[in-house]
Amino acid sequence: MTIIENAPAVKVQLFCLDPSFLLRQALARGHAAIFFSATLTPMDYYLALLGGAPEDPVLQLPSPFPTENLAVFIQDRIQTHFKGRANRSGKW
């Protein structure tokens, strides 16, 4: 998708809303690909999103880490928006 703004200056933004077509073309140039992440579930959704096809072989392995190591931490003072990147003092 392309968004063009004319005021106060011309600004063009390009967004790839569905990367599957371009990724599929890139993957076809190779013999294999490995995607790994803790968040690639549900598998069928991410397979399609990343350019895969239902007939592609998939190997999903369990985590090698003990479940007792799992922890969720919430930090509400980290700024993740673009303006927050300028703050390099370490103080949030």
Q: Which range of residues forms the domain containing residue 33? A: 19-58
User: What is the pLDDT at residue 92?
Assistant: 47
Tens-level pLDDT at each residue, the chain (92 residues): 888 888 788 888 888 788 888 889 998 899 888 887 777 888 888 888 888 888 888 888 888 889 899 888 888 887 777 776 666 555 54
The answer to whether 92 and 76 have CB atoms below 8 angstroms apart is no
User: What is the pLDDT at residue 83?
Assistant: 72
Q: Could you give the C-alpha distances from 11 to 14, 86, 92, in angstroms and in order?
A: 10, 22, 31
Q: Examine residue 3 and state whether it is found in any structural domain, yes or no.
A: no
User: What is the pLDDT at residue 91?
Assistant: 54
Q: Examine residue 37 and state whether it is found in any structural domain, yes or no.
A: yes
Tally of domains in the chain:
1
User: What is the pLDDT at residue 85?
Assistant: 65
